[in-house]
Structure 1
Amino acid sequence: MGGFEAGQGSRRLRHFQPSRAHLNTLIAAAGADITARARWLVRNNGYAANAIESWAGNVVGDGIKPSSLIADADLKARVQRLWLDWTDDSDAEGFTDFYGQQRRAAREVFIAGEVFFRFRPRRPEDGLMVPLQLQMIPSEMLPLTRNEQLPGGNVIRQGIEFDRIGRRMAYHFLRRHPGDVTDPGLSGETVRVPASEVIHVIDPVDAGQLRGISRFAPGIVKLFLLDQYDDAELDRKKVAAMHALFITTPAPAEPFDVAESDEGGERTMDLQPGQIVMLEPGEEVQTSAPADVGQTYEPFQYRTLLQVSAALGIPYAYLSNDMLKANYSNSRLALLEFRRRIEAYQHSVMVWQICRRVWARWLDTAVMTGAIALPDYEQQRRTWLGCSWLPPKWDWVDPLKDARAEIEQIEAGLKSRTQALAERGYDADQVDAEIAADRARERQLGLSFGSASSDPTLLNDAQAAPADNQANVAAD
């Protein structure tokens, strides 16, 4: 009937017959292989390794940090100090702090499409500020092939247990990693962990998706083939560079006098600068003329890496570290687009799935164990849990122009200082308190910096401070 050409079986589309299976089915069939290949690329391919570091550095940086919305300034400061002390103890493995776990989570979700955190309550004698830790569990620990109907109506799908109305009730993790031969545990043995104790970090792309898929999936084939092509070119050039000259003779059975035999019996000749070699009659010298990579090598590499860049959602310059093709305008446009994607990911994945869950569980544990006292916590829990999460600040592309533009926006009432500081990853209350403390110290010591030198009140106070100090010394 015509209509959409994309839905017709014309000659050009005759062999374009994509699967109609749901994404869960496709992940169950190929998810493990895709994850294994993505991990291999990160370990062995420089572009893949650079892409993952760029992603984690921009998403997390030095950490997405909380700013409690508690109105009482003293109580808020106590909560913030307790949280900061606990972040050093959050990792059950002891390798990093909570913000380092955020970075590891961003890496894992990019590579494997998902990662799990398990809350680990601790005993008081463990000596933690708040008796709670987080254990990171890789995606391979939750078997994709575990599907069964349980007595009572619950069902397990790809290792996740659901009740009759589709709520997640538990996760059936393997006790040991299926690929870790150093773990003496029983292979295939699983343990049921309640869903309330698990954080499943995932960036779903389809409705109804249960498990994650690697962000490398659209670019794995091109990255791998490009890597093989580069290796073949490098090896070809290396082999060609090993041969400087070839000598041909009409009587190959008769060796020439200057030739020597190496350990393999091959005839070789060592040449010195300015050396004159007398050849036998009929012998000729031919230089090695290996074929060059050609003028298409660089454009081909560039175009292929652009496709990989688009597949991974990483700017070309961040993927390749190639700044030669970048100018101010296109770099700024690419950076702005990349930051929009990063901000969306920070909100929908990192903050919503990890930070909020951890903050709520941490504050519940802190109150229940007496680490901090919050009045009427059970009745006003939602109020006490109020918190803003501040991602790492973006560096300015043009600091002078960007700073002036932001100052004008604040002065015109288009944005507040609180908003501007939050965009840089700072808490406005903390910044104001630090500024007030700095100004007070400047007045006490008779110093003036920056805007203080143009403030008559601060100048008078600063000038009066030394005189007051001398009068006090004379009186003593």
Structure 2
Amino acid sequence: MNVLDRFVSFFNPQAGVQRAAARQVLSAWHRDYAAAQHGRRNRSWRARGTSANAEVATGFVTLRDRARDFVRNSWAGQRILDVMTSHVIGTGIMTVPNTGSDRDDNRYKLLREEWEAQSDVEGVLDYGGQQALLLRSMIEGGDSVQRMIPISLADAGRGVALRLQSLEGDSIDTSRDAVPDGTVRLGVKLGDWGARQGLYLHRSHPGETGLASIEPSQFVEWEDLCHLYRPLRIGQVRGVTWFAPILLPAKEIQDLMEAAIVQQRTQASFAGFIKRQPGGVSPFAAKADSSEPGSKVTRIEPGQIQDIGDAEIVFANPSSQSVFGDAYKAGLMAIAAGAGLTYDQLTGDLSQANYSSLRAGKIEFRRIVEQLQWGVFVPMVCRKVDRRFEELAVMAGKLRPRKDGYRVDHVMPAVEPIDPKKDLEADILAVRSGRMSPQEFISAWGRDWRKVVTDFDSFFSFVDQNSVPLDIDPRRPWKGGGSATPAVPAGGNQDE
């Protein structure tokens, strides 16, 4: 009971008791959550109840610039980008038609392959390369943009009149930020219920040296854009670099490495110091000495003996004790975890790994990759490009109109097995038990199951016609023996 409670109790004991009881209840509520207290341990803990966009607006530009510096000057940053891009995109997420009509599927596939080879408006990359660069820019900078640009039929030739332009998130005009009415937030124009209407884009990269444009940004409709970012909170309109949680510890780990290198170089420099009486002759006086009298020792080199005057020779005895190895490894583990990777993926260190540990780590990593593929990249990029490709192809008469449109499947990069034999046997059992369809089994290896079946049918027909027995024929017993079973032609519905 504090002073005020005692004062109240003096005049009204019942009110004083009620005040003291209420205070105890409030104190108990605060004690239930230690992180909600404001005591000595939490005094330096700063937190704000701001929205996702308010948090992004205050620091995403600085975070983006520092993340790019981290990638440019650190092997860890480059490694994280390479690993994530190679697993999520690989050589490209395939778009495979699945309309139920072989004729329409084949026409779509041929037209799509021709277009993907020349999809880049700059004429540098193919569609798979653009996907990889788009994801890489998003992870590094927080978000990226792909603009769908229609071209003339004459320029398109036999292909579809569509090209893609990849842009970094810097191209979004952040100064377009009408906070009071909320119609534009960080360069993103919003409609009712937060529906995206478009982006304000600069004509050229605002950071391009010597090309600072004074022209205002232009508004581009949402239907013509693919804005790629990973939403972390509801209502978030711009992305934040994936390196944000690890930038500070990563820089400290990099500084630790540099300090350890300097320490080892210093310890390798066995140095001695000569002290002599005032006016005494240095034993090295006869030798050329470019050092000035009274100059300070600022650098120790191997085999150096430094004359500092007055008395005897003293040899340096550097300490060999260091906790660098443990601290550096722990720091790399934290960086890997913050980036969503395993330690061995970040460092390539497999000295402490075995089959069980590798498999357990990769299962968790694959979940993250699948979530990024199907929850972010496919809906934000692949499906929008697929719809625009179909619209322009049908309008130009290169694909026949279909009542149900052209349904497509997306085939992800193959997941390399840790133990191919064990993993393949497990997948076969999953198919035979009904847990996985044959189509899913083949697609999991990054292949179009229709092409695989067609190739098998062509192979079997040629082998049977020429009576060539091969041990790779899956219709025969493993490693020879038995008679060949008749090849069953792979049929298909030629029309709807």
Q: TM-score, normalised by structure 1?
A: 0.85
Determine if contact 1:258/1:269 at 8 Å carries over to the other structure. no
Contact 1:91/1:135 (CA < 8 Å) preserved in 2? yes
SS at match of 1:12: coil
1:246/1:161 CA distance change after superposition, 3 Å: same
CA contact under 8 A between 1:142 and 1:174: conserved in structure 2? yes
8 Å CA contact retained: 2:256, 2:328:
no
Report the counterpart of residue 359 of structure 1 in structure 2. 386
The question of whether the paired residues in 2 share the 8 Å contact of 1:259 and 1:269 is answered with no
Identity of aligned residues (%): 24
Answer yes or no: is the 8 Å Cα contact 2:194–2:235 preserved in 1.
no
Aligned residues: 444
What root-mean-square deviation, in Å, do the aligned CA atoms of Structure 1 and Structure 2 show? 2.9
The answer for the alignment partner of 1:210 in structure 2 is 237
Determine whether 1:445 maps to 2:472. Answer: no
After superposition, the Cα gap between the structure-2 partners of 1:140 and 1:439, relative to the gap in structure 1 and judged at 3 Å, is same
1:54 paired to 2:83: yes
Is residue 181 from structure 1 mapped to residue 225 from structure 2 by the alignment? no
Could you tell me whether the CA contact under 8 Å between 2:146 and 2:167 is conserved in 1?
yes
The equivalent residue for 2:169 is 139
2:96–2:408: 8 Å Cα contact kept in structure 1?
Answer: yes
| Paired residues of 1:69 and 1:76 also in contact (CA < 8 A) | yes
The CA distance in 2 between the partners of 1:448 and 1:407, in whole Å, is 24
Aligned counterparts of 2:448 and 2:136: Cα–Cα separation in 1: 27
The one-letter code matched in structure 2 to 1:48 is G
Distance 1:410 1:459 in 2: 22
Q: What amino acid sits opposite 1:194 in the alignment?
A: E
Q: Distance in 2 between matches of 1:182 and 1:119?
A: 27
8 Å CA contact 1:178–1:187 kept in 2: the answer is no
Instruction: Report deviation, 1:7.
Output: 2.2
The AA in structure 2 aligned to 1:156 is V
State how far apart, in whole Å, the 2-side matches of 1:189 and 1:177 are: 13
Report what 1:99 is aligned to: 128
**Partners in 1 of 2:284 and 2:248 — Cα distance?**
53
For residues 254 and 117 of structure 1, what CA distance do their matches in structure 2 show? 76
Equivalent residue, structure 2, for 1:157 = 185
Superposed displacement of residue 78, structure 1: 1.9
Residue 319 (structure 2) aligns with? 291
- Is 1:412 aligned to residue 439 of structure 2? no
1:122 is aligned to 2:151: yes
Deviation at 1:216, TM superposition (A): 0.7
Could you tell me whether the CA contact under 8 Å between 1:154 and 1:164 is conserved in 2? no
Give the superposition deviation at 1:426: 1.5
**Structure 1 gaps, min length 5:** 272-281, 462-476
**SS class of match (2:245):** helix
Asked whether the 8 Å contact 1:240–1:288 carries over to 2, the reply is no
| 1:275 alignment counterpart | none
Aligned residues of 1:176 and 1:187 also touching (Cα < 8 A): no
Q: CA contact under 8 A between 2:260 and 2:324: conserved in structure 1?
A: no
Paired with 1:226 and 1:188, the residues of 2 have a C-alpha distance of 42
Kindly indicate whether the alpha-carbon contact (under 8 Å) linking 2:153 and 2:161 is maintained by their aligned counterparts in 1: yes
For 1:315-326, list aligned pairs within 5 A.
315-326=342-353
Letter in 2 for 1:392: P
405-414 or 58-67, larger mean C-alpha shift = 405-414
Q: 1:332-384, CA deviations, whole angstroms, 9 ceiling, x for partnerless residues? A: 111000001101110011111111111111121112123x231x44xx2xx32
Instruction: Say if 2:419 is the partner of 1:403.
Output: no
User: Is this contact kept in 2: 1:390–1:425, CA < 8 A?
Assistant: yes
**In structure 2, what is the Cα distance between the partners aligned to 1:39 and 1:433?**
46
Aligned-partner SS, 1:217: coil
Selected match of 1:337 from 356, 359, 364: 364
State the distance in 2 between where 1:97 and 1:460 align: 42
Residue matched to 1:19? 48
Query: Which runs of 5 or more residues in structure 2 are unaligned?
Result: 1-25, 304-309, 488-496
Q: Deviations over 1:288-343 (max 9, x none)?
A: 43333x34211111112222222111111112222223222111111000001101
Letter of the structure 2 residue corresponding to residue 394 of structure 1: V
TM-score (norm. length: structure 2): 0.82
Partner of 2:246, secondary structure, is: helix
2:107 paired residue among 62, 78, 81: 78
Of 369, 373, 385, 2:399 maps to: 373
Shift of 1:236: 3.3
Which letter maps to 2:460?
R
The Cα shift of 1:30 comes to: 0.6
Residues 373, 289 of structure 1: alpha-carbon distance in 2 compared, 3 angstrom cutoff = same
Name the SS of the counterpart of 1:441 in structure 2.
helix
